Structure 1
Amino acid sequence: MEWPPVDDITASAPLPAGYRYEYLSRHQVPALISALKVWYPGIAVGNASCHMRESFYAEKVCLDGETERDFLVILFKHDDEMVGMFSVERDPDSEVLYGRICAISHRHRGSHLSRSVPLLEEALGRAMGMGMVYGLATLKYPHMQATFERMGWQLIGITPGFDREVIAPGVVKRVYEAIYAKVLVPSELLRPRAQDLTPAAKALFDLLYPGQCLERVDA
């Protein structure tokens, strides 16, 4: 299972005019870490903080053709300038792709680069035969929530305390985050039987996936 060529994902998830994708190279790691400090100050804590350690890239991220690694970092470039990034993690056993973080330079946020992120993750997933893609969106701001919903991803839940964020200078709190997902192979989904669900589980399932539960199945 190899990460697809940049040209393949560009065709499936095009960027605005003047921008392009580029896979992170080893020599670019220090510059990316420096940029993230500016683009994403809250990255110092929580799930995303691994992106601030050079050892994370050296040990886990696909760099310079190390396609066996399960983390990929994709840069957004404008000419030769690094203006944003998106990282993704694959689980080859469950064939699922998890969008880790997206960060965009303040000077380029009006270009709507983040709107390409759901399409980009889908393109990666489809190219590698993944069954599902998913990502998290903070409840502090509605922007990424709206982006996922606009692209047809489904809100499947809200996690309490999954991650930590800087909410004020020197103040870190555990936060709620929305989970958005898209199934790439809906024909492979096994519908649950009503008799196998607790009342609470069935009520939530019916809310999220109306009409998908098998109401009565003998044996």
Structure 2
Amino acid sequence: MQERIWPDLHELPENTVTPAQYSYRQLSRSDVERLSQLVRRWHPDVGVGIGRVFSDPQYYLQNVSLAGEADKDTIVYVGVYEGEMICVMCLEINLLNRTLFNKFGACAPQHRGTGATLFAGYAIDALAAKLDIAMAWGYVTTKTRGMQQMVERAGFNPVGVVKFSDIELNAEGEQRPVTEAIYAKYYKQHDALEPIREANLTPKLRALCQALDVQVLE
């Protein structure tokens, strides 16, 4: 029998941050077709590029840990309001270095700003404690402030900016490269890391470390 990767949600500490009218569950096989349709509706701009897989049922069936089935490195949680799915988050674990990658998140427009997506910060923190995670990270769009503000409130900090990291559709339906910020949150002490030494850095990387307040030894 395959060893479990992901704990059940009821095994995690109580979620006291997500408004009570929203419930979350692990994605099940019976949810896949409907979720794929909803993602296309919520975020038509991700119909190309990396995000397009989240509109494809086969992606979930082949790559995601589905409720009651064998665990895989990727898990999806869906938020539910009055019986309908209204948001989704996708996490991937790297078991070798104990990191979590926030691969994707989306929310129905009418539920944005309601607190429904506060579950994301809660889930990452709770899983980090349960699974002995060292770092969680992900890409955040620079097109709007909303996602940046949400992840910063959850304790994440920007550590870089990447141009051409993805492709999305603009308002005219044209494919355009987008720029995203990389955000990270650390759960282990920095003194557990191999120290960064100034002699090993180029001037540009040294300047970046200074801007990010990363300790560098002489």
- Normalising by structure 1, report the TM-score: 0.90
Q: Which residue does the alignment assign to 1:20?
A: 23
List runs of 5+ in structure 1 lacking aligned partners. Answer: none
Alignment counterpart, residue 149 of structure 1, candidates 127, 152, 167: 152
Q: Deviations over 1:49-107 (max 9, x none)?
A: 11111221111100123353011110101242211111111111221111111111122
Q: Which residue is equivalent to 1:119?
A: 122
Task: For 1:61 and 1:150, locate their aligned partners in 2 and report how far apart those are by CA, in whole Å.
Answer: 28
**Residue 95 (structure 2) aligned to one of 87, 92, 97:** 92
Question: Alignment partner of 1:82: what SS?
Answer: strand
Unaligned runs of at least 5 residues, structure 2? none
Specify which of 190, 193, 204 is matched with residue 194 of structure 2: 190
SS of residue matched to 1:141: coil
Q: Secondary structure at the match of 1:87?
A: strand
- Is residue 2:69 matched to residue 1:77? no
The answer (yes or no) to whether the contact 1:13–1:123 under 8 Å persists in 2 is: no
2-structure distance, mates of 1:160, 1:49: 19
Name the structure with the higher helix share.
Answer: 1
Report the 3-state secondary structure (helix = DSSP H, G, I; strand = E; otherwise coil) of the residue aligned with 2:216: coil
Q: Does 1:200 find its partner at 2:204?
A: yes
Amino acid at match of 1:182: K
TM-score (norm 2): 0.91
Which residue identity lines up with residue 50 of structure 1 in the other structure?
V
Q: CA deviation at 1:191?
A: 2.3
Q: Give 1:12 shift.
A: 4.9
Q: What is the distance in 2 between the residues matched to 1:47 and 1:8? A: 32
Compared CA separation, residues 13 and 201, structure 1 to 2 (3 A): farther
Q: CA deviation at 1:180?
A: 0.5
The equivalent residue for 1:129 is: 132
Secondary structure of 2:53's counterpart equals helix
- Map 1:200-219 onto structure 2 (within 5 A): 200-210=204-214, 212-215=215-218
Deviation at 1:34, TM superposition (A): 1.1
1:3 corresponds to which residue?
Answer: 6
Q: Structure 2 residue aligned with 1:68, among 68, 71, 89? A: 71
Contact 1:10–1:21 (Cα < 8 Å) also in 2:
no
Flag as ranges the 4+ runs of structure 1 deviating above 6 A.
none
**How far apart are 1:13 and its partner, in Å?**
6.2
Q: CA offsets per residue over residues 121-170 of structure 1, 9 Å max, x none?
A: 22222221121101111110011111122222110000111111112232
Q: Percent identity?
A: 30
CA distance in 2 between counterparts of 1:46 and 1:199 reads 33
Determine if contact 2:32/2:61 at 8 Å carries over to the other structure.
no
Counterparts in 2 of 1:16 and 1:25: CA distance versus 1, 3 Å: same
For 1:203, the aligned partner's letter is: A
| Alpha-carbon separation, structure 1, partners of 2:168 and 2:212 | 27
| Residue of structure 1 in register with 2:161 after alignment | 158
